[in-house]
A and B are shown apart, each in its own frame.
Chain A
Amino acid sequence: MISSLLAFLAAHAVVVIAIIKIALLLFIVLTVNAYLTWFERKVVAHMQSRWGPHRVGPHGLLQPLADGAKFLLKEDPTPAGVDKFTYFLAPLMALALALTSIAIIPFGPDPLPWTIWGQKVYLGIADLNIGILALFAITALSVYGVALAGWSSNSKYPLLGGLRSSAQMVSYELALTMSVVGVLLLAGSFNLRDIIGAQAQHPERGIFGWNVWPQILGFFCFFVAAVAETNRVPFDLPEAESELVAGFHTEYASFKFAMFFIAEYTSMITVSCLCTIMFFGGWLSPFPASWTFTHYLPSVILIPFGLWVIWDGIRYETIFGRIILPGVGTAITAIGAVLVAFPAVNEFVQGPFWLLSKIFVFLFVYVWMRGTLPRFRYDQLMSFGWKLLLPVSIANVVITAFAMLAKSMWGAK
């Protein structure tokens, strides 16, 4: 019985591995989403001289769980007069598209050190030839979630929010797409792995081999347009609470609201991944390849952090915290120690370590912007997108193309 089941699984290894990877990635992304809300609230709170969440669990670490339970248990009324089909479709579309886009991101250069049923297992679900185009296709569709939510609610503020959002996303999508063309020219491929590979041509240069230097204009346009596409501060006009109550999701409650919320945070993660991969060398180390001692950096960060968590935990005021925090700290320290003890594991971890660190930096920038920047006015938003971003991104394409032409003409001699 069990052996025949195993034989069946082994015969369909590709499909089975893909399903397991999808489930695992979904779990990780949703957990990261939940703790991103905690991180955001904590950072913004500290920027405003507050404490942020600190009641549920030590340092408020269980707050995301409490929020999740609340979302699930709240009453979910459907307002009268809504267009039922579209009203239910909108949050589903928003969440499904946001989660789909994560599937295209590669998370590490090497396959796992062991094979499963004779298959090499790479970190990342779909390695598409048209990687970045597929991502843009998904982004192009994700505007419907917001627009349809605004329209189907049959209410003034959501409609205004939906209208603003579709206008904004259509305007910034052009700049978003044009700003990437420079990177594509340099890499000569749509595939995300190839784009990272193109930045690894000069391993001795380290950080100076990344695309962000030749493509600084492109990066500026991409990041601004991507923040606008995710409807985050300072481009969060579709949900401007001072004018539109809550914008497109005013009429949504309970888990349908949570779906919009998760979609927004997931697209933040996707944008951070894309910035990292296209402009900041993805999983490449910022140090020259010959500096092998930098491979101990993950341990150098993890072990002191773990020890600090233990030290902080034993002095924590609640008993629960005094049990949990030292435990977590010990686990973190242990991971750091394992990396020192097993060089093979350490080598494997290098790529994902740098990728995740860079993604984390971008997520912090997102939160930082939310804590510091005021919102754009609508006319400023439009003139900024059309009159500054779009021309600059087109100029970037022209400059990059001419630079490459010049290099190929004079470099060949």
Chain B
Amino acid sequence: MGCEVTPQLAIFFVLAALAVIGALNLIIQRHPIHSALSLIVVMIALAGLYLLMGSEFVAAVQIIVYGGAIMVLFVFVIMLLNAGVEERTNISKLAGVAGIPLAVALMGFLAAAIARSNESAQAGLQTGALANTKEISTMLFKDFVYPFELTSFLILVAILGAIVLAQREKS
């Protein structure tokens, strides 16, 4: 097993470290805005990882949708409510007893799944099988057209629900 440090590998580790540190910072920070900023860092680091795999389209969409639209909404709501610094409480008993072992177990499962995943899947990712926008759109609108339309329908229902809930009652 060769452990040669290629530029790609170095960039991968930088981005991965950025994502992990951002995610930790998200939990550690006491102010909601700082947490939201950390989450943005995580999103952008993930976009960088997609770019490294050669999926330019997914990377751009990741930044536009998650980094841009969704996180702007988060920041906007935090600013609108003028949320202050959170108070620190001691760890709850339930979290201590059940949560920590469950978290460790989840991490173990994920690590095992990644370690056991076959080589071809990883190779497919690295060669950028989903690089082309054309391929992605063919996949979405030909092979997976029904799940795709179903998801769109679900989102439409959610939008309508949000409008109904937000509407002022007519007096």
Contact = CB atoms under 8 A, between A and B. Distances in A.
26 contacts: A83-B31, A86-B33, A129-B56, A130-B60, A133-B60, A137-B64, A137-B67, A139-B68, A140-B69, A141-B40, A141-B44, A141-B67, A141-B68, A143-B68, A144-B72, A147-B72, A148-B33, A150-B79, A151-B75, A152-B33, A166-B72, A166-B76, A170-B69, A170-B72, A170-B76, A190-B133
A258 interface: no
Nearest to A184: B133
Nearest to A136: B64
A150 to B, nearest CB: 7
B63 interface: yes
Query: Range of interface residues on chain A?
Result: 20 to 34
Contact of B76 (A85, A133, A152, A167): A167
Interface residues of B, number: 25
Nearest to B31: A83
A136 B79 contact: no
B23 interface: no
A217 B68 CA distance: 26
Interface in B37-57: 37, 40, 44, 47, 56-57
Given A130-B56, A130-B133, A140-B68, A147 B75 contact: yes
B37 A137 contact: no
Interface in A162-218: 162-163, 166-167, 169-170, 173, 177, 190
Determine which residue in B31, B60, B75, B80 has the highest number of CB atoms from chain A within 10 A of its CB, and name it: B60
A130 to B, nearest CB: 4
B20 interface: no
A365 interface: no
A162 B67 CA distance: 18
Given A136-B64, A170-B76, 15 more contacts: A86-B34, A130-B57, A133-B60, A137-B63, A137-B64, A137-B68, A139-B68, A141-B63, A144-B75, A148-B37, A150-B79, A152-B33, A162-B79, A163-B80, A170-B73
A160 to B, nearest CB: 10
Interface in A54-108: 83, 85-86, 89
A162 B73 CA distance: 13
Residue in B47, B68, B80, B133 with the greatest tally of chain A CB atoms within 10 Å: B68
A173 B68 CA distance: 10
Contacts of B76: 147, 163, 166-167, 170
Interface in A284-313: none
A348 to B, nearest CB: 31
A47 interface: no
A23 interface: no
A361 interface: no
With a 10 A CB-CB cut-off, give which of A86, A128, A130, A162 has the most chain B CB atoms.
A130
Contact of B40 (A137, A139, A144, A167): A144
A57 to B, nearest CB: 42
A14 interface: no
Contacts of B60: 130, 133-134, 136-137
Contacts of B79: 147, 150-151, 159, 162-163, 166
A147 B37 CA distance: 12
B61 interface: yes
A133 B60 CA distance: 6
A133 B61 contact: yes
Interface in B20-36: 31, 33-34
Nearest to A162: B79
Interface in A111-152: 128-130, 133-134, 136-137, 139-141, 143-144, 147-148, 150-152
Contacts of B33: 83, 86, 148, 151-152
